[in-house]
Amino acid sequence: MKPLSRKKFEKHYAPMEEELVAMARWAAKTGARVLVLFEGRDTAGKGGAIQALARPLNPRQCRVVALSKPSERERSEWYFQRYVPHLPAAGEIVLFDRSWYNRAGVEKVMGFASEAQVEAFLEQAPVFERQLINDGILLFKYWLTTDQSRQEERFAERLEDPLKRWKLSPVDLAARAKYADYTAAREAMLRATHNPHAPWTLVDFNDQRRGRLTVIRDLLDRLPDTRVDPEEIEWATLGHDPLAESYGVLQPIEPFRGKAARP
């Protein structure tokens, strides 16, 4: 299938933006708590999918959580403990860029967690998620899939692009030789944690733009009826001619005029 162009992506995305804003208005009105987990291989496109979903939303209502590696203290805590403070409150939408499923993926494959720790996690995760759902949280779990050839292309792009180089880590480089190991770890995770109350949804992200549209469409379709009419606002005239901006203590810098870069 031919990759989706940016122009076509924006054409399909524009009406979804309105639906996302309506979804956020519904969540604020009803006090719904929406939690979306994004998992997948390195370079799959988690960040881009999250940005597309969050782009039209108020950042005070829609939060992105991307935790760094745990501290010494956090490594001694109950495994799920560091994630609990980031769960959504009433009216909030929280998007996890990787989540507690790190334990079943990168921690398992790269040897950061023992087999006993991984087994305990696979037993506890469904119970933990059942508690979240029983308390009223709307939980959605997405795994973004990509072939190794596409992954290699994206790794190379990050290596060559100075604006994307920061995305490459030593773990990413070491993971290149473990593609099959990550597949086996994912399948074990799915067998243990894919269930009726908290199912996984796998999305093809070999074409990232098409994948973003697929995720957003699926999420919107699975939410309850989110039609809430916006509140009416009475817009009064100023009563005088609009005022020009004025400056006292400091003047704004001159507008950029496309000057050549310094040598």
Q: What is the pLDDT of residue 147?
A: 93
Q: Where are the domains of the chain?
A: 6-71+87-222
pTM here?
Answer: 0.89
pLDDT in tens, 96-132: 999 999 999 999 999 999 999 999 999 999 999 999 9
Q: What are phi and psi of 52, to 5 degrees?
A: -65, -40
pLDDT digits (tens, 9 = 90+) for 167-193: 888 887 888 889 999 999 999 999 999
Of residues 90, 92, 97, the one with CA closest to residue 48 = 97
CATH 3.40.50.300 given to domain 6-71+87-222 = yes
108 with 118: CB under 8 angstroms? yes
| Separation between Cα atoms, residue 211 and residue 262, nearest integer Å | 40
pLDDT digits 0-9 by tens, 209-259: 999 999 999 999 999 877 777 778 888 888 899 888 888 999 888 888 886
Confidence of residue 1 (pLDDT cuts 50, 70, 90): confident
The dihedral sign for the CA sequence 220, 197, 66, 85: positive
Gyration radius of the chain's alpha carbons: 22
Length of the chain: 263
Extract the tokens encoding 250: 């400091």
137 contact partners, CB below 8 Å, separation of at least 6 = 33, 34, 35, 87, 88
Contact residues for 126 (Cβ-Cβ < 8 A; gap 6+): 192, 193, 195, 198
Proportion of the chain above pLDDT 90, given as a percent:
73
Which residues are bridge partners to 37 per DSSP?
Answer: 96, 141
Is residue 33 a contact partner of residue 62, using CB atoms and an 8 Å limit? no
What is d(CA 57, CA 196) in angstroms, rounded to the nearest whole number? 29
Residue 32: DSSP 8-state: -
The strand ranges marked E within 146-254 are 200-204
